[in-house]
Amino acid sequence: MAQIKVNDLTFSYEGSFDPIFEHVSFSIDTSWKLGFIGRNGKGKTTFLNLLLGKYEYSGTIAMDVPCDYFPYDVSPEDSDRTAEDLMDMWKPGVESWRVMRELSDLSMGADLLYRPLSTLSFGEKTKVMLAVLFAGENDFLLIDEPTNHLDRDAREIVKNYLSGKKGFILVSHDRDLLDACVDHVLVLQRSTIEVQVGNFSSWWANKERSDSFAKAENEKHAKEIKRLKGAMTQSQHWASKSESTKIGYDPIKEHDRGMARPYIGSKTKKMESRVKAYEQRLEKSIKEQEGLLDDVEQIRDLKLSPLKHFKDRLVEARDLSLKYADADEPVFTGLSFEIRNGERVFLEGRNGCGKSSLIKAILASARASDTGSLTVSRSAADAGDMVLEGTLQTASHLKISYISQDTSHLHGDLKTYAMENGLDYSLFLAVLWILALEQTQFDKKIEDFSEGQKKKVLIATSLLTPAHLYIWDEPLNYVDVFSRMQLEKLIQEYSPTMLIVEHDVRFAEEMATKTVRIYK
């Protein structure tokens, strides 16, 4: 059992004036199942890279065990190679039989090792890499968001797998995964770092209690702070008044005051010294009491302006089949469902079952005509060269606000992005700030944002777009747990009509009014 001891760690990226870590100290045990929690952009992935020795820093990180990191890098040139070819590069000295054993625990066959990576689904790649990661011995494992883009069934397999392991740091925003798999948490709070025994839910319960206490104490101390500041002002007044008695007197009218001048000066000097010491004590007390809320997590309320359509039924699919023009088999067949005003419909199904394709077809239908009927193939630009059979209808004049799971199109500065998307720039920045995007990010290029911060740009755009129907395709990938809670509260308060693809179990359980499962 070894420890990783971090002492007085300070780090910032080259050219940045904002430190990611500043004089940070804590220690963790390498036998723990450690959950790593924090807002987007707080430095979780950066810290993992510091453990790997990728960056220079000040302070010390003392550790006696080697680290290995998930996910492994795969270059474009490697995509046509097999995991069996690559795994010795990923984890030197790893033995194939150990990898096969781990694959079995992940409910996968050994044949995955011998297929080109380009032929594997995202979930299959994730499981192969996890199998290689855990096939070594005595490594401390750094696991960075392993369930992003995984469907619910794959997430359940990964969750059950990790729950039986130990000796890792798990970066995740999935509350269900964290509760099942970790026994300690490392939390990057607003101004400090905290290590605590338990999982996410136990930490969050403690956090709510401590935040509630801090807020109550802050209210109690508000009057005390006001009194202390008043006392400081009074002490400064006393010092000024005493000093004024030393000068400005009439030697004829006050002929005896000259004799007392040295005495007054000495008395004033002593009073100034006492006042200065008193003020320093007051300032320290005020600072301590004003800092009570430094680590209180401010989950601020978001706003939404959903539109109410004059029709009750906004989308209807009857016996719908979808096929790409160059494919031999349809993506899905016989799908029937509807979306009515006020419903929040969650699409479920394995990766590759056609959830995103269905969304593209609905978007194409809404663009097709005022009647919104789409029963013929669309162009590749509209809907990916799809051929539909059956009926897909959308209400006429339907306004849709759409979040894509892809962020690769985001580029440039926020002001230009807002202008190009018809957004009020000030409101756009305000929503991003409420979603905990720090003001230091506002002047950066969007392509330099973290993936979670890019997703917040898309979320803010959608929230500022009045719509009859909000279609969100995996909106929460990489988004921190606190922002997920904000969105849950927003949706419960405003009850927008929504079609959502999202594999976060807690989010779906809280938000869905209806579930549509697509079978491949």
Residue 244 lies in a domain: yes
pLDDT tens digits for 441-452?
A: 898 999 999 899
Angstrom distance (rounded) from CA 239 to CA 444: 49
Q: Domain check: are 250 and 112 in the same one?
A: no
Q: Domain check: are 373 and 270 in the same one?
A: no
Helices vs strands, H then E, count in the chain: 15, 17
Predicted local distance difference test score (pLDDT) of residue 238: 61
**Token pair 């051929």 in the structure block, residue:** 387
The band of 376, judged by pLDDT with boundaries at 50, 70 and 90, is very low
Angstrom distance (rounded) from CA 172 to CA 180: 12
Nearest to 408 by CA among 454, 364, 351, 363: 454
Residue 302 lies in a domain: no
* CB of 303 closer than 8 Å to CB of 496: no
Q: In what order do the strands lie in the sheet with 193-197?
A: 67-70, 140-144, 168-171, 33-38, 184-188, 193-197
Q: Average pLDDT, stretch 484-500?
A: 96
Q: Domain check: are 282 and 333 in the same one?
A: no
Q: Which alpha helices (H) appear in 291-413, and where do they start and end? A: 355-368, 380-383
Burial class (CB in 10 A: 0-12, 13-18, 19+), 84: middle
Burial class (CB in 10 A: 0-12, 13-18, 19+), 282: middle
Residues whose CB is less than 8 angstroms from the CB of residue 154 and which lie 6 or more positions away in sequence, other chains included: 123, 126, 127, 147, 350, 351
Q: Domain check: are 218 and 75 in the same one?
A: no
Predicted local distance difference test score (pLDDT) of residue 374: 39
Residues whose CB is less than 8 angstroms from the CB of residue 180 and which lie 6 or more positions away in sequence, other chains included: 159, 160, 162, 163, 199
Which tokens go with 105?
């625990």
Predicted local distance difference test score (pLDDT) of residue 50: 95
Instruction: List the domain range (segments joined by +) for residue 230.
Output: 207-293
Angstrom distance (rounded) from CA 520 to CA 321: 11
Q: Domain check: are 260 and 407 in the same one?
A: no
Q: Average pLDDT, stretch 353-381?
A: 68
pLDDT tens digits for 212-255?
A: 877 777 676 666 656 666 665 666 666 566 555 555 555 555 55
The percent of residues above 90 in pLDDT, for the chain, comes to 64
Residue 299 lies in a domain: no
Residue 67 lies in a domain: yes
Residue 115 lies in a domain: yes
Cα 404 to Cα 356, 359, 449, 461: the distances in Å are 9, 10, 17, 11
Q: Domain check: are 46 and 183 in the same one?
A: yes
Q: Average pLDDT, stretch 281-289?
A: 60
Q: Is the pLDDT of residue 164 over 90?
A: yes
End-to-end CA distance of the chain: 46
Q: Domain check: are 109 and 212 in the same one?
A: no
Q: Average pLDDT, stretch 324-332?
A: 88
Predicted local distance difference test score (pLDDT) of residue 314: 96
Residue 339 lies in a domain: yes
Nearest to 177 by CA among 515, 516, 488, 507: 507
* CB of 456 closer than 8 Å to CB of 438: no
Residue 307 lies in a domain: no
Q: Is the pLDDT of residue 152 over 80?
A: yes
Q: Average pLDDT, stretch 335-350?
A: 96
Q: What is the DSSP string of 173-206?
A: --HHHHHHH-SEEEEE-SS-EEEEES-HHHHHHH
Q: Is the pLDDT of residue 154 over 50?
A: yes
Q: Of the segments 149-153, 270-274, 468-472, which one has the largest average pLDDT value?
A: 468-472
Q: What is the mean pLDDT of the chain?
A: 86
Beta bridge partners of 324: 386
Give the largest Cα separation in the chain, rounded: 114
How many Cα atoms are found within 13 Å in the side-chain-facing hemisphere of 473? 18
Angstrom distance (rounded) from CA 163 to CA 146: 13
Q: Is the pLDDT of residue 344 over 60?
A: yes
Q: Is the pLDDT of residue 271 over 70?
A: no
Q: Domain check: are 485 and 365 in the same one?
A: yes
Angstrom distance (rounded) from CA 464 to CA 413: 18
Predicted local distance difference test score (pLDDT) of residue 182: 97
Angstrom distance (rounded) from CA 486 to CA 40: 14
* pTM for this model (two decimals): 0.79
Q: Domain check: are 472 and 355 in the same one?
A: yes
The band of 380, judged by pLDDT with boundaries at 50, 70 and 90, is very low
Q: Domain check: are 242 and 368 in the same one?
A: no
pLDDT tens digits for 421-434?
A: 999 999 999 999 99
Total domain count, the chain: 3
Choosing from 232, 263, 293, the residue where a domain stops is 293
Q: Average pLDDT, stretch 10-35?
A: 90
Predicted local distance difference test score (pLDDT) of residue 379: 31
pLDDT tens digits for 63-100?
A: 999 999 999 999 989 999 999 999 999 999 999 999 99
Predicted local distance difference test score (pLDDT) of residue 196: 94
Which tokens go with 21?
């870590």
Distance of CA 94 to the CA centre of its chain: 33
Q: Domain check: are 322 and 357 in the same one?
A: yes
Q: What is the DSSP string of 300-334?
A: PPP-------SSSEEEEEEEEEEEETT-SS-SEEE
Q: Is the pLDDT of residue 473 over 70?
A: yes
The band of 41, judged by pLDDT with boundaries at 50, 70 and 90, is confident
Angstrom distance (rounded) from CA 495 to CA 512: 11
pLDDT tens digits for 93-144?
A: 999 999 999 999 999 999 999 999 999 988 899 999 999 999 998 899 999 9
Predicted local distance difference test score (pLDDT) of residue 253: 56
Residue 306 lies in a domain: no
pLDDT tens digits for 173-216?
A: 999 999 999 999 999 987 788 999 999 999 999 988 887 877 77
Q: Domain check: are 322 and 244 in the same one?
A: no
Q: Is the pLDDT of residue 265 over 60?
A: no
Predicted local distance difference test score (pLDDT) of residue 240: 63
Choosing from 199, 229, 256, the residue where a domain stops is 199
Angstrom distance (rounded) from CA 22 to CA 193: 11
Choosing from 199, 230, 251, the residue where a domain stops is 199
CATH number, domain with residue 487: 3.40.50.300
Nearest to 346 by CA among 121, 175, 510: 510
Nearest to 336 by CA among 318, 313, 354, 361: 318
Q: What is the CA radius of gyration of the chain?
A: 30
